[in-house]
Amino acid sequence: GAGVSQSPSNKVTEKGKDVELRCDPISGHTALYWYRQSLGQGLEFLIYFQGNSAPDKSGLPSDRFSAERTGGSVSTLTIQRTQQEDSAVYLCASSLGQGGVEKLFFGSGTQLSVL
């Protein structure tokens, strides 16, 4: 696609429910990143993929968070048993992933609100 696409743009859920956030990277980009941004804060790194594998899962805040990527393209971030502190904007980015210096292209994010 022309850019990184994220869906939904907004998600309101109740505490304890599971949510799935989707990211569709730029075509041909093999690296994909998930970040979380709380109101007025910087970007918190969550996880990145190179192809379908995730070499670095260290940023996931708890075992309620998981992510997968299939076909080297679309990625899904799943949050189980959501808590109010999970409320934030979840941003996805992709890059060529050819090694060397990476330039990230971001989507517009998913605003998650947990009531």
Partner 1 sequence: LAKTTQPISMDSYEGQEVNITCSHNNIATNDYITWYQQFPSQGPRFIIQGYKTKVTNEVASLFIPADRKSSTLSLPRVSLSDTAVYYCLVGLLFKDMRFGAGTRLTVKP
* Binding-site string for partner 1 from residue 54 to residue 93, where x marks contact by CB under 8 A and - marks none: -xx----------------------------------x-x
Q: Is 28 in the site for partner 1 (CB under 8 A)?
A: no
DSSP 84: G
Question: Could you tell me the smallest distance in angstroms from the CB atom of residue 91 to partner 1?
Answer: 5
Q: Is 43 in the site for partner 1 (CB under 8 A)?
A: yes
In the chain, DSSP assigns E strands to 5-7, 10-13, 19-24, 31-37, 44-50, 53-56, 65-69, 75-79, 88-95, 105-106, 110-114
How many whole angstroms separate alpha carbon 65 and alpha carbon 59?
A: 10
How many whole angstroms separate alpha carbon 30 and alpha carbon 45?
A: 18
Question: Could you tell me the smallest distance in angstroms from the CB atom of residue 55 to partner 1?
Answer: 7
Q: Is 50 in the site for partner 1 (CB under 8 A)?
A: yes
Structural contact between residues 3 and 92, judged by C-beta atoms closer than 8 angstroms: no
Q: Identify which of residues 74 and 106 has a Cβ nearer to partner 1 in the complex.
A: 106
Binding site for partner 1 (CB under 8 A): 4, 31, 33, 35, 41-43, 45, 48, 50, 55-56, 91, 93, 95, 97, 99-109
